[in-house]
Amino acid sequence: MIRHVLAALLLLTAPALAETAPDRAPEGATGSTPKQTVRAKRFMAVTAHPEATRAALDVLKAGGSAVDAAVAAQLVLNLVEPQSSGLGGGGFLLFWDAKAKRLFAYDGRETAPAGAEPRMFLGADGRPLPFLAAVRSGKSVGVPGALALLHHAHAKHGTLPWGGLFGPAKRVAQQGFRVTPRLHRLISDTPTLKERAETRAYFFTAAGMPLPVGHELNSPDFLATLDRLAPGGAEAFYRGAIAEAIVARVREAGGTLASSDLAGYKIEERAPLCGLYIGFKICSMGPPSSGGIAVLQILAILERFPSETVTAEDEKAAHLFVEAARLAFADRNLYVADPAFVRVPVKGLLDGAYLAQRAKLIDPRRAQEKIEAGTPPEDKGEFTPDRGEESPGTSHLSIVDADGNAVSFTTTIENGFGAQMMAAGFLLNNQLTDFSFEAERDGKPIANRVEPGKRPRSSMAPVMVFDRDGRLLLVVGSPGGSRIISYVARTLVRVLDGGADIAVAIAKPHVATTGTAAEMEKGTDAEKLAERLTALGHRVSVNELNSGLHGIQVQDGTLIGGADPRREGVAMGE
Ligand code: DON
């Protein structure tokens, strides 16, 4: 026990933020800082930054619910981890109501404006625009959903007054916070931030240098926004001065976003998507996210192989994992899109007989050369697969409150620094580049093509796991673009099947895929598997696999928290 208290103290007092010099990556990796398992008895929060975790913890101490804590944490994250999430973005939030024993799934995904059209990401030559050009254009900005999501979830599950949750963020906006090594590095690695007046003014010194580590960054503009939202709620975001500022900024950059798009925004309450894995009930988000379906498919396929093979950290386990994930990605690319526009055969994709047949395609001695989507029971053959891949700005936070309620919230502005434009003191998302840039191929439409009012397909997979008696066992999720699916699925295998504690599971070297190459985490033991996987026929690449897994495990009344060593987050609890 004393050992754990010491570990927690060490983490609280010295959230060391390692500075290394890795290669450039989409939301760049910034080194790895070892983090211990944190234990608590009553409540716990794990977020991507110590200030945000502290904000959540203060709310929990004051008797707030997990949702109250998530609101406070998100508002702080907007300031301290601006590249990843904020009010200019959207997300998916699971809420577990312990008393009612009910799980809620809220979809605060950005939507395409009425003026969006299927070919808007094609150039004059009919070819897809270069990714960064699309990201930085006003066309990439969807109607932000984060504030509506939090306001709605708070109205249903909050216990403290909405306006009171703004205190920590107001303090940080006013007094400032110290720029971390990671934020400094990411600014340095994103030179295009200098090309726009507002991002240049916010992220660079007067002399044009990236804000140095330790610089006290405050935000009067964001403070003014908080002062409007604390009394005004969602109404004050989607109508009036803030909405007008967003619309003006996006239009200046060539987007079609209109006031009516913001005024018409609605979050969706969806049925959580659940499935079984070795007797555990795993719940996540269904469409428009592909995350839940893909994670459940991977687990169901792996369940058909011996546990000792699946849980080993060797090349056989890596091979199986990558093959299962490649099968899931083939289905994802063909079938998953906004269910308001496309009939996604969710039941068919998770059908036991269908997945048994998919699992048989895996040869334990050889990588499949070409993987195609399957034909699940409900398929009508209407679509052709998209080949888009997202590149990573996202954050995951996990919270359990004193009543046993929980939040699993993955929140994003899409690419690092989103569309690289700001309004009302926050960065705007580029979420619409999660749509397929192409609308059709070979005479068939692509399910995830752009359409007005549609939500782009996501890979986000906030997860909660329950035991046979319906007790909450685990809350977890991660950023990482389409690699989220691998990060989350492999962590679930390690904890549920391998018996690792959540912090240990998160820290293990990653093996991932986004459907084609088998990716090994650079600078870790996973690199050693590269040669053997190549010999099995895989196209192997060694990459920074910059996850941000944040999770809480509930074990015999103890809360066990794990924060990803690859980012600067911490777990704290009492
Ligand atoms: O919704 C999605 O799947 C992506 N826009 C998430 C992007 C992301 O995770 C960035 N992470 N670092």
Catalytic residue among 394, 412, 491, 513: 394
> Are 404 and 359 a contacting pair, CB within 8 Å?
no
User: Rounded to an integer, what distance in angstroms lies between the CA atom of residue 176 and that of residue 193?
Assistant: 20
Ligand 1, atom nearest to 483 Cα: 9
Q: Are strands 540-543 and 518-521 parallel, antiparallel or unpaired?
A: parallel
- Both tokens of 483, joined, read 């690699």
Question: Would you state the structure tokens that stand for residue 4, as one six-digit string?
Answer: 């754990």
Q: Which of 186, 394, 482 for mutating ligand 1's site (highest number of atoms within 8 Å of CB)? A: 394
State which of 111, 140, 414, 514 you would mutate to test the pocket of ligand 1, scoring each by most atoms of that ligand within 8 A of its C-beta. Answer: 414
What is the token pair recorded at 435? 């749509």
Report d(CA 292, CA 275) in Å as an integer: 9
Q: Measured from the CA of 431, which atom of ligand 1 is nearest?
A: 5
Q: Where are the beta strands (DSSP E) in 415-476?
A: 422-423, 426-427, 440-441, 444-445, 463-466, 472-476
Residue 402 CA, ligand 1 centroid: distance in Å: 30
Per DSSP, what are the bridge partners of residue 512? Answer: 519
| DSSP for residue 254 | T
d(CA 321, CA 351): 19
CB distance 330 to 379 below 8 Å: no
Question: CA–CA distance from 209 to each of 202, 363, 390, 453 (Å)?
Answer: 11, 53, 29, 40
Please give all residues whose beta carbon lies within 6 A of any atom in ligand 1, as ranges: 27, 390, 392-394, 412, 414, 431, 434, 458-460, 479-481, 484
Ligand 1 centroid–CA 3 distance in Å is 36
Whose alpha carbon is nearest atom 4 of ligand 1? Answer: 481
CA 406 / ligand 1 centre spacing (Å) = 22
Give phi and psi for 76, each to the nearest 5.
Answer: -70, -40
Residues 6+ apart with CB under 8 A from 547: 478, 479, 480, 483, 484, 487, 506, 510, 564, 566, 567
Question: Per-residue pLDDT for the chain (574 aa), expressed as one digit of tens each?
Answer: 222 333 333 333 222 222 222 222 346 677 788 888 899 999 999 999 999 999 999 999 999 999 999 999 999 999 999 999 999 999 999 999 999 999 999 999 999 999 999 999 999 999 999 999 999 999 999 999 999 999 999 999 999 999 999 999 999 999 999 999 999 999 999 999 999 999 999 999 999 999 999 999 999 999 999 999 999 999 999 999 999 999 999 999 999 999 999 999 999 999 999 999 999 999 999 999 999 999 999 999 999 999 999 999 999 999 999 999 999 999 999 999 999 999 999 999 999 999 999 999 999 999 999 999 999 997 888 899 886 554 447 999 999 999 999 999 999 999 999 999 999 999 999 999 999 999 999 899 999 999 999 999 999 999 999 999 999 999 999 999 999 999 999 999 999 999 999 999 999 999 999 999 999 999 999 999 999 999 999 999 999 999 999 999 999 999 999 999 999 999 999 9
Distance from Cα 290 to the centre of ligand 1, integer Å: 12
Buried b (16+ CB within 10 A) or exposed e, 523-542: ebebeebbeebeebebebeb
Q: Which atom of ligand 1 is nearest to the CA of 479?
A: 9
**Among this protein's residues, is 534 annotated catalytic?**
no
Residues 6+ apart with CB under 8 A from 265: 111, 143, 144, 145, 148, 238
- 394 near 77, Cβ under 8 Å? no
Amino acid letter, 74: Q
**Interatomic CA distance for residues 224 and 242, integer angstroms:** 10
